[in-house]
Chain A
Amino acid sequence: MDDKAGLTRREFMKLAAAGTGSLTLLAGCAGPKESRWVFLTEDDALLLGSIADQIVPPDEWPGGREAGVVTFIDRQLAGPYSRFQADYRKGLDAVTGTCLKIHGKRFENLPWEQQLSFLKDMEAGKLAGDAWKDGFCSRFFELLRNHSMQGFYGSPRHGGNRNYVSYKMMGLDYPQIVGQNRYRS
């Protein structure tokens, strides 16, 4: 549990976003703990991993977490998706806060079925609380869903779809060798 480190990191991101610092500063920063994340805290990452596994559940093929969805989202939030940083900050905190209130547990510690019904409520815009007002509830779910799908099914160069796992699952050989694709039907 290192909420403090998380806060520090967020302060940094705020500075970076305000133009008073830069992302490269983070790398040189001797924090209490080296993080593998650019934008997320360790707690955020745990939570997002559980959500990614609900969006694309593990079965005989890896789920969202194992495929690198969290890495994908983390990198995009520090890049092309920087416009969603505020939504993620607010949304992830609100998920944790709401779960603690309803279940006395963080989302990632809930049993599978409770996680699922929580996300269904979120999708339907049914979560109570100030943070979820004005359509934010289903809108944030939509972001999580879309970004998880992109991380799972998109190109590995962005940190997700590790080893082209989704392509393999769908029988899309990679690399594509024209005339020599070896599909089993």
Chain B
Amino acid sequence: MSKHHVQAVVIGAGAGGGVVAKELSVAGLSVVLFERGDWVPYDAHDHDELISQRTTVLGNAYGPDDERYRRVVVNDDGSTSIVTPSDGAYNNVAACVGSGTVSYGAMGWRFMAEDFRMKSVYGQVEGSTLEDWPIAYEDLEHCYEKAEWEIGVSGDAKLNPFASPRKKEYPMPPFAYNNEARMLESTMKRMGLHPFPIPMLRNSVPYSGRPACVRRRTCCGFGCPLNAKCGTHNTVIPAALSTGNCELRTNCVVSELVIDGSGRITGVAYFDQDNTKQLQSADIVVIAASATETPRLLLNSTSKQFPSGVGNRHDWVGRNLQGHAYTGAFGLFEEDMFDDVGPGATIAVSDFSHHNPGIVGGGLLANEFTRLPYLFSGIRPPGSPPWGKAHKEFQRRYFRRNVQVVGPIQEMPFFDSRVQVDPGVRDAWGIPVVRLSGHRHPKDAEGCDFLSRKAETILKEAGAFQTWRHGSGIGLSGGQHQAGTCRMGNDPLTSVTDRYGRVHDTPNVFVADASLHVTNGGFNPALTIMALGYWVGEYISSQWQHGNRFT
């Protein structure tokens, strides 16, 4: 394995990191892409519901493992718990080449123009660090387009009147609705709403040398045995490797940035696949380790110049951890709705994404990904027996006769919802672990209440004989949609990076993942993270080509 100096190191081969690695290596920079996980083949876990990325009771199919990884969670009463990745409180995404993009549900949403200007549109929100992004939708538009065409999205943009303007159509036609979506479509239209097929990072037709999706029931939480789901692992990362300029080092855990006596970042320290500590020097370091692990890396990188961590002069690293409260409603029907046409989620409305009276932001509503039997065993109307004869009867009677309409509510950033490093607990490599604390802003509950009532109205109108709503508590948010912990901004006093993801105070360190999000939109975030990968990658490579060495 070569330890030669390279021009750029990228940490994390996920949604953001995979894109940056490709952009830089195509531009001719020499790149080492570090990934703590490995390539995970579909066959390793198959369609096993209990070891998937959605239901993790026996482990995370796409990492990380429970043996070597842990985190500390600060409970409401101030006590702490040590949690492992199979525990929801760990707030995991994944750890493998492609990260969440291997096993995600693959909704490929663009944020709307309003999502980048939340403070301008809605004003100050008491107790929240709600802010505008330093870039506008229009700045990112061409990056969304690149993500859609290079990674691959199926959809029909004409059908969503609320979407912000775009220059180019999706590269692939939309997926056909499944049975419940056909039923919901006529209901929604009757109600004056504007349903459309969910844009999906999946091939509706053969694309980029990979086949079309066959619509299995196991998709969200699982890898794709056909390679019809589009992630960074089967698009941009192979493209980066094929340039010959990018070396991917799997099973390598980066522990900290290396800082020289003058305060310049000269590379990274990491543990290789044999757990031996190594150094890799580079001109540029791009951190794309996810919104929980990126701040951990910065905070674990200290020196005389950076006593509280790189980029943390003003105590913003790790702040404003956000995710998405998923809120909506279930409905029970007299006849079968389920036709086993995967992945389940096919139809959405964006009518409630913005400009809802009294609500800051909002969220999309869609039907849900197919739940496998174990997950469904936890879905019951309030007051139903959670076990026994009636529970089993419900299971077989309503598995095919329930519909969920659900969506991610735009969360209000909260300064005290945060990632720190724990002073005592370390992982298997001896690296101080993530410590999570805080809770949601109270405004989020109003959003949940609003959106779940809309979902319930749709299900009632569709003829459900029984409906019930669900929100989510006030507890810490993060999870698979984690974001916001190294926000970009124009003012170094209130942000971690500039508008190009460059960490204030360090000319050659960049962030390129969901950590950059100032706000997290009312949409699933992956396509926006990919677009940011193009945005940051494009900036670095064009500067590099103009001779800027970021010194």
Please give the residue numbers on chain A whose beta carbons come within 8 Å of chain B beta carbons, in ascending order. Answer: 54-57, 59, 61, 76, 80, 116, 145-146, 148-150, 153-155, 157-158, 166-167, 169-173, 176, 178, 181, 183, 185
Given contacts A56-B387, A157-B48, is CB(A176)–CB(B340) below 8 Å? Answer: yes
Per the CB 8 Å criterion, the residue count for chain B at the interface is 34
Name 14 interchain pairs, CB-CB below 8 A, sorted by A.
Answer: A149-B377, A150-B374, A153-B49, A153-B377, A153-B395, A154-B50, A155-B48, A157-B46, A158-B58, A166-B373, A170-B400, A171-B396, A183-B336, A183-B340
Please give the residue numbers on chain B whose beta carbons come within 8 Å of chain A beta carbons, in ascending order. Answer: 46-50, 57-59, 66, 86, 214-217, 335-336, 340, 372-374, 376-378, 386-389, 391-393, 395-396, 399-400
Which residue, of B50, B340, B396, has the highest number of chain A Cβ atoms within 10 A?
B50
Contact of B49 among A155, A169, A171 (CB under 8 A): A155
Given contacts A57-B388, A178-B216, is CB(A169)–CB(B396) below 8 Å? Answer: yes
Establish whether residues B400 and A171, one from each chain, have CB atoms under 8 Å apart when the complex forms. Answer: yes
Establish whether residues A172 and B217, one from each chain, have CB atoms under 8 Å apart when the complex forms. Answer: yes
The complex places the Cα of A32 from the Cα of B378 at a distance, in Å, of 42
Establish whether residues B399 and A55, one from each chain, have CB atoms under 8 Å apart when the complex forms. Answer: no
Contact of A170 among B49, B57, B399 (CB under 8 A): B399
The complex places the Cα of A157 from the Cα of B393 at a distance, in Å, of 25
The complex places the Cα of A145 from the Cα of B395 at a distance, in Å, of 15
Q: Lowest 4 A-B CB distances belong to which pairs?
A: A153-B373, A153-B374, A154-B50, A155-B48
Establish whether residues B395 and A76, one from each chain, have CB atoms under 8 Å apart when the complex forms. Answer: no
Q: What is the chain B residue whose CB lies nearest that of A181?
A: B340
The complex places the Cα of A149 from the Cα of B57 at a distance, in Å, of 12
Given A153-B373, A178-B214, A178-B215, output 6 extra A-B contacts at Cβ < 8 Å.
A55-B388, A56-B387, A153-B372, A155-B48, A176-B216, A176-B340
Q: What is the chain B residue whose CB lies nearest that of A81?
A: B58
The complex places the Cα of A80 from the Cα of B50 at a distance, in Å, of 11
For B57, the chain A residues whose CB sits under 8 A away are 146, 150
For A178, the chain B residues whose CB sits under 8 A away are 214-216
For B216, the chain A residues whose CB sits under 8 A away are 176, 178
Given contacts A80-B66, A158-B50, A176-B216, is CB(A145)–CB(B387) below 8 Å? Answer: yes
Q: What is the chain A residue whose CB lies nearest that of B341?
A: A178
For A155, the chain B residues whose CB sits under 8 A away are 46-50
Contact of A149 among B66, B217, B374, B396 (CB under 8 A): B374
For B49, the chain A residues whose CB sits under 8 A away are 153-155
The complex places the Cα of A172 from the Cα of B86 at a distance, in Å, of 27
Question: Smallest CB–CB gap between B15 and chain A, Å?
Answer: 28
Question: Smallest CB–CB gap between B92 and chain A, Å?
Answer: 15
Establish whether residues B386 and A145, one from each chain, have CB atoms under 8 Å apart when the complex forms. Answer: yes
Establish whether residues A176 and B373, one from each chain, have CB atoms under 8 Å apart when the complex forms. Answer: no
For A166, the chain B residues whose CB sits under 8 A away are 373, 395
The complex places the Cα of A171 from the Cα of B398 at a distance, in Å, of 11
Question: Smallest CB–CB gap between B225 and chain A, Å?
Answer: 11
For A59, the chain B residues whose CB sits under 8 A away are 389, 392-393
The complex places the Cα of A59 from the Cα of B390 at a distance, in Å, of 11
For A169, the chain B residues whose CB sits under 8 A away are 395-396
Given contacts A153-B373, A158-B50, A170-B373, is CB(A176)–CB(B387) below 8 Å? Answer: no
The complex places the Cα of A172 from the Cα of B372 at a distance, in Å, of 9
Question: Smallest CB–CB gap between B207 and chain A, Å?
Answer: 19
For A116, the chain B residues whose CB sits under 8 A away are 388
For A56, the chain B residues whose CB sits under 8 A away are 387, 391-392
Question: Smallest CB–CB gap between A180 and chain B, Å?
Answer: 11
Establish whether residues A167 and B386, one from each chain, have CB atoms under 8 Å apart when the complex forms. Answer: no
For A172, the chain B residues whose CB sits under 8 A away are 217, 340, 373, 399
For B378, the chain A residues whose CB sits under 8 A away are 149
The complex places the Cα of A158 from the Cα of B49 at a distance, in Å, of 11
Establish whether residues A167 and B373, one from each chain, have CB atoms under 8 Å apart when the complex forms. Answer: yes
The complex places the Cα of A158 from the Cα of B57 at a distance, in Å, of 12
Establish whether residues A170 and B214, one from each chain, have CB atoms under 8 Å apart when the complex forms. Answer: no
The complex places the Cα of A157 from the Cα of B52 at a distance, in Å, of 13
Question: Smallest CB–CB gap between B378 and chain A, Å?
Answer: 8
Question: Smallest CB–CB gap between A15 and chain B, Å?
Answer: 21
The complex places the Cα of A58 from the Cα of B52 at a distance, in Å, of 28
The complex places the Cα of A167 from the Cα of B49 at a distance, in Å, of 12
Establish whether residues B389 and A57, one from each chain, have CB atoms under 8 Å apart when the complex forms. Answer: yes
Given contacts A56-B392, A76-B58, is CB(A150)–CB(B50) below 8 Å? Answer: yes
Establish whether residues A171 and B66, one from each chain, have CB atoms under 8 Å apart when the complex forms. Answer: no
The complex places the Cα of A76 from the Cα of B50 at a distance, in Å, of 11
